[in-house]
Amino acid sequence: MRVLLIGANGYLGRYVADRLLADPAVQLTALGRGDDADVRFDLATGSPGALTRFLDAVHPGVVVNCAGATRGGARELTRHNTVAVATICESLRRSSCGARLVHLGCGSEYGPSQPGSSTAEDAVPRPGGPYGVSKLAATELVLGSGLDAVVLRIFSPVGPGTPAGSPLGRLAEAMRRAMQSGDSELKLGGLGVQRDFVDVRDVARAVHAASLSAAQGVVNIGTGRAVRLREAASVLARVAGFGGALHEIDSPPARLVIPGPSPEHPVGSPPATYPYPDGCGTWQQADVRTARDRLGWRPRIGLEESLADIWMEAACRI
């Protein structure tokens, strides 16, 4: 099976590439903007015609799109998350390859949900910020393209490679600083937010399964269990061997506060406040029955293992 992987060097794409390469039946080609891609192509600026000619030459059976941006202004997010997907869909429609498209969406497309509820694929999307809007627009392009396509809505991915600027990455970095300086307590805020954290390696397994399946439409990829950031911080402290106290400070419920020091926030300055980046408010939990029934997929890696891997990388950071 020839697979064209777009965005192989991203956080999720690296693990998807590893998973696909482990399948001896897969012949993988990576397309991206970096020098280490098999083929260099910028989806945000490249023409559908150029991509169509490449598709006709390589003739993949499956195209997997892991590319996109999680941060930036509305125009940048739209360019990398929406325009890029329009290019992919248009190129596949023009191409003679007839490839199946596996596109990675995200739970942010749903927006805030009722605490205690599980969000199923038939929920009406109400994204709470430009990132979710740009990803939802991409999903609508895929679903309306007429292609053999499936959209995997990934909830909150965690595990090795978690970006240092993400909420859990910032928690690990704050804990590393506290242990390095010998602090006996760590003050954190905004830990009431609850998210459905799914390991990136389980996400890669879901992409592999979707590539081989006939499933179409939207499929949620999560664990089906929301975890409070306060609980994640406690687990992280345990795996890190942090013997100090965790004190939660008052902050708006959907914001994560990590204290300094840093060049921007030296000792003695107020804690730095970061909005939780997904625009989903205080609660999000996936209904994952469709992934089980149509992909034969279930998550295998628990949050403690994911956090242990995040800590291992943070602890090695100089």
Q: How far apart are CA 25 and CA 37, in angstroms?
A: 21
Q: How far apart are CA 65 and CA 145, in angstroms?
A: 15
> For 228-283, what is the HEC assignment?
EHHHHHHHHHHHHCCCCEEEEECCCCCEEEECCCCCCCCCCCCCEEEECCCCCCCE
The fraction of the chain above a pLDDT of 90, given in percent, is 76
Q: How far apart are CA 307 and CA 166, in angstroms?
A: 13
Indicate which CATH number applies to the domain containing 137: 3.40.50.720
What confidence score (pLDDT) does residue 276 get? Answer: 62
Q: Residue 87 pLDDT > 80, yes or no? A: yes
Q: How far apart are CA 235 and CA 261, in angstroms?
A: 23
Q: How far apart are CA 114 and CA 117, in angstroms?
A: 6
Hunting for tokens 């023009």 — which residue is that? 94
Q: Cβ(226)–Cβ(292) under 8 Å?
A: no
State pLDDT tens for residues 258-282. 544 443 333 333 343 344 668 899 9
Q: How far apart are CA 266 and CA 263, in angstroms?
A: 6
In a domain, 275, yes or no: no
Number of residues assigned to the chain: 318
Is the omega angle on the peptide bond into residue 252 within 30 degrees of 0, that is, cis?
Answer: no
DSSP letter, residue 286: B
Average pLDDT, the chain: 90
Rounded to 5°, angle at Cα 7 from 5 and 9: 110
What is the number of domains present in the chain? 1
Tokens at 263, concatenated: 């060049």
In a domain, 268, yes or no: no
Q: Residue 221 pLDDT > 80, yes or no? A: yes
| Helix or strand run (H / E) with residue 312 | helix 303-315
Give the CA-trace dihedral at 181, 185, 187, 191, to 10 degrees: 120
Which position has the higher pLDDT, 262 or 146?
146
Q: How far apart are CA 250 and CA 197, in angstroms?
A: 24
Q: Which domain holds residue 16?
A: 2-159+198-225+284-300
In a domain, 179, yes or no: no
In a domain, 11, yes or no: yes
What confidence score (pLDDT) does residue 255 get? Answer: 54
3-class state of residue 189 by DSSP? strand
In a domain, 221, yes or no: yes
In a domain, 121, yes or no: yes
What confidence score (pLDDT) does residue 269 get? Answer: 34
In a domain, 202, yes or no: yes
What confidence score (pLDDT) does residue 316 get? Answer: 84
Q: How far apart are CA 304 and CA 232, in angstroms?
A: 8
Q: Residue 69 pLDDT > 50, yes or no? A: yes
Residue 162 neighbours by CB distance under 10 Å: 25
In a domain, 167, yes or no: no
State pLDDT tens for residues 174-205. 999 999 999 988 888 878 999 999 999 999 99
